[in-house]
Amino acid sequence: MSTRSKILFRKFLKWRYQNISNKQFIRIASAVIGLLAGLGAVLLKNLTHLIQELLEGEFIKDIHGAFYFIFPILGLLIVLLSKKFIIRKKVGHGIPSTLFAISKLKGILPRHQMWASLITAPITVGFGGSVGLEGPTVATGAALGSNFARLFHLNQTTRTLLIGAAAAGAMASIFKAPIAAIVFAVEIFSLELTLASMIPLLLASITAVLTSYFFLGDDVLLHFNLEDKFVLSDVSFYVFLGVASALASIYFSKVYFNIGAFFKKIKSPYHKLLIGGSLLGIIVYFIPPLFGEGFTTINSILRGNVQSVISNNVFNYTTENSSIIILFLIGLILFKIVASSFTFGAGGVGGVFAPTLFTGSITGYVFALIVNSSNLFSHQLSLTNFAMVGMAGLMAGILQAPLTAIFLIAEITGGYELFIPLMIVSLISFIITKKYIPHNIYAHDLAERGQLITHDKDKNVLMMLDLDKLIETDFVLLYPEMTLGEVVKNAVGKSPRNHFPVVNEENEFLGILTINDIRSIMFNQELYDTVNVESLMHAGSDIIYYEKDSAEEILNKFKRCGAWNLVVLKDGKYFGFMSKSRLLTAYRRKLINVTA
């Protein structure tokens, strides 16, 4: 920004402070953020479709089989080179990186996140990576919201609200479902749904939907016409679909976590690309419906046109046999998350929202097809209705966002005809999955590190504390061989502290010596040369481990031991002390800021 631009911007800020209240400005900012998030969603979608159209030319049709193997690997290679030579910074994993920024970085997202996903995500998906665009779209919008707030010097609470508004705008633009988008922002980002937050979320969501309609018309991702009404006799089958959705959600999550853990052990990005890209290419070559996002397959399922899905295979094999169709569709369920995990493992950029919808639609369809084909039941189920409700079941299980699942599918279907089955399936799937998978696929890693924002305000405030600022290091170090005289002269006489850490030459913590330990002998000079620190020191009440202890765990340690000061160890060495009073003071200040 030039000097003249800076001067003009400062004048605008001054004018804003004088003429626009903070509440009004937040509402204006929310509308702007919704517009930007909507534009980001449109741009991501159009870039992806442009790449796909370029790759599906006449030349590609002549080598149709090789197309599915070669291009996912090529796309992942381009993404890797883009990260290394163009972006030159780490590209966060969509929603998880946004959650981390909210919990530990005070809502500050790096500027390159505003455009990095616009390059990497369309290449990943356009070249056949088996992931979705929803996560990168939300991440792009969130980065825009965060940096917009930073530009106008808005506080942490407002930054977080604008990030949520951007997320709602992105989802609203993608699915043209503004209500579900607001619920998504509240469920995933743990925003407090108050009147103060509701209006900005609504403004962003509405603005983003209008932006999507302006550029894309009434085209929607999911094409579904409700033809079969809900009947009471289907209730028991929806209950069983809820259980089936939970099982599929648990499988989906476990496979994702395990494959992700495997690739984390591989340090070289080129090795990751070679292994993940090759395995992805092989899977997609033999199972072409796994190529890309999969919305073509989802829409075929929702129309009941399963033959177009079955016939899309390397052998061009087609069949009317229901058993073979069921087996093929189960294969899609089992391998979709495998292909998605290999895409992420190889360095691809995308999201799990589309794979969740893909798996859910087929789970519901297969369930209904099994019932209809079985001799055990004389009852016939609506294949398309169960496919649509199955999508909600997997969203409720994998994303652990049951309300988002219910309202999204309700809005897509254009009414509330399926509202009761949506509630049944989503609730059952969520309850069962939650028991075995405590945190959703976005929050799993953050939860393991104790960095996850939740609806528990106390935990959120503790997690937002900057523990480094609470650690005090200006203590006089004592050594076990030091005499009482040296302690009085070099420690007590020169330090305002009333306790001192005892360490060895390697700076390993051995114990603590307090004023109370030597009060009765401190002025007895006859003992100055005969009594040493080793005979006076005692063990600490408890120890804070810098690398692993969260603020919540530290507070619990203070409660358990009743001490007012605890030693902090870093890399196994003495690092400093933390006091209970400083921790509580910092907590009170943060609570005031968060709830302002």
pLDDT band of residue 37 (cuts 50, 70, 90) is very high
d(CA 296, CA 358): 10
According to CATH, where is 1.10.3080.10 located in the chain? 18-216, 234-452
- How many helices (H) does the chain have, and how many strands (E)? 25, 6
- The three-state DSSP-derived secondary structure of 262-305 is HHHCCCCHHHHHHHHHHHHHHHHHHCHHHCCCCHHHHHHHHCCC
Tell how strand 565-570 and strand 543-545 pair up: parallel
Residue type, 274: L
pLDDT, mean of residues 516-525: 86
Q: Return d(Cα 481, Cα 362) in angstroms, integer.
A: 72
Least confident of 28-32, 249-253, 551-555, 587-591: 587-591
Q: Which two tokens stand for residue 270?
A: 């080129």
Give the per-residue pLDDT at 473: 87
Positive or negative torsion for Cα 165, 168, 169, 170: positive
- Check pLDDT > 80 for residue 2: no
DSSP labels, 16-70: HHHHS-HHHHHHHHHHHHHHHHHHHHHHHHHHHHHHHHHHTSHHHHHTHHHHHHH
Task: Report d(CA 281, CA 342) in Å as an integer.
Answer: 10
DSSP 413: T
Confidence of residue 462 (pLDDT cuts 50, 70, 90): low
The continuous run of DSSP H or E covering 96 comes out as: helix 94-104
Secondary structure of residue 241 in the 3-state scheme: helix
Is 14 or 66 the better-scoring residue by pLDDT? 14
User: Please, how many CA atoms are within 13 Å of residue 326, restricted to the half-sphere of its CB?
Assistant: 13
Write down the pLDDT at residue 572: 86
pLDDT of 455 over the 80 cut:
no
503 DSSP β-pair partners: 509
Residues of the chain with CATH 3.10.580.10: 459-594
Cα–Cα distance for residue pair 136/418, rounded to 1 Å: 30
Give me the pLDDT at residue 388, please. Answer: 93
pLDDT band at 59 (very low <50, low <70, confident <90, very high): low
Give the distance from CA 181 to its chain's centroid. 16
pLDDT of residue 265: 92
Of 337, 338, 317, 339, residue with least CA distance to 328 = 317
Alpha carbon distance 295, 131 (integer Å): 11
The yes-or-no verdict on residue 595 having pLDDT over 80 is: no
Distance set, CA 560 to CA 254, 389, 546 (Å):
35, 48, 18
* Buried/exposed 253-270: b ≥16 CB within 10 Å, e otherwise: bebbbebbeebeeeeeee
Mean pLDDT of 132-147: 90
What pTM value is reported for the model?
0.79
Just give the CATH number of 18-216. Answer: 1.10.3080.10
What six digits make up the tokens of 233? 């006799």
CA 411 to chain centre: 24
Where is 390: in which H helix or E strand?
A: helix 383-394
**High-pLDDT (> 70) share of the chain, %:** 92
| CATH number given to 459-594 | 3.10.580.10
pLDDT at 62 over 70: no
> Bridge-partner residues for 500, per DSSP?
513
User: pLDDT digits over 268-293, tens only?
Assistant: 999 999 999 999 999 998 888 998 88
Q: Which of 193-197, 313-317, 525-529 has the highest mean pLDDT?
A: 525-529
Q: What's the chain's average pLDDT? A: 86
Instruction: Answer yes or no: are the C-beta atoms of 155 and 596 closer than 8 Å.
Output: yes
Q: State the DSSP string of 356-385.
A: HHHHHHHHHHHHHHHHHH-TT------HHH
Residue labelled with tokens 């209500």: 179
538 bridge partner residues? 512
Residue 303 or 194, more confident: 303
Neighbours of 378 (CB within 10 A): 6
Identify the CA nearest to 113 among candidates 94, 127, 128.
94
- Lowest pLDDT segment from 151-155, 221-225, 246-250: 221-225
Burial 513-530 (b: 16+ CB within 10 A, else e): beeebbeeeeeeeeebee
Continuous segment of H or E residues that includes residue 471? strand 471-472
Domain 234-452 fold is Clc chloride channel (1.10.3080)
CB count in 10 Å sphere of residue 204: 38
Neighbours of 317 (CB within 10 A): 10
Least confident of 229-238, 426-435, 508-517, 585-594: 585-594
Contacts of 583 (CB under 8 A, 6+ apart): 465, 470, 551, 554, 555, 558
Question: What is the rounded distance in angstroms from the CA atom of residue 193 to the CA atom of residue 138?
Answer: 19
Tokens representing residue 119 in the block: 């390059």
* Residue 230 and residue 385 in contact, taking contact as beta carbons nearer than 8 Å: yes
pLDDT band at residue 218 under the 50/70/90 scheme: confident
pLDDT-based confidence at residue 371 (cuts at 50, 70, 90): very high
Please, which pLDDT band fits residue 157 given cuts at 50, 70 and 90?
Answer: confident
Amino acid (one-letter) located at 310: I
Residue 42 pLDDT: 92
pLDDT of 337: 94
Residue 44 confidence class, pLDDT cut points 50, 70, 90: very high
138-152, 245-259, 505-519, 562-576: range with highest mean pLDDT: 245-259
For the cut 90, the answer to whether the pLDDT of residue 496 exceeds it is no
Chain centre to alpha carbon of residue 327: 33
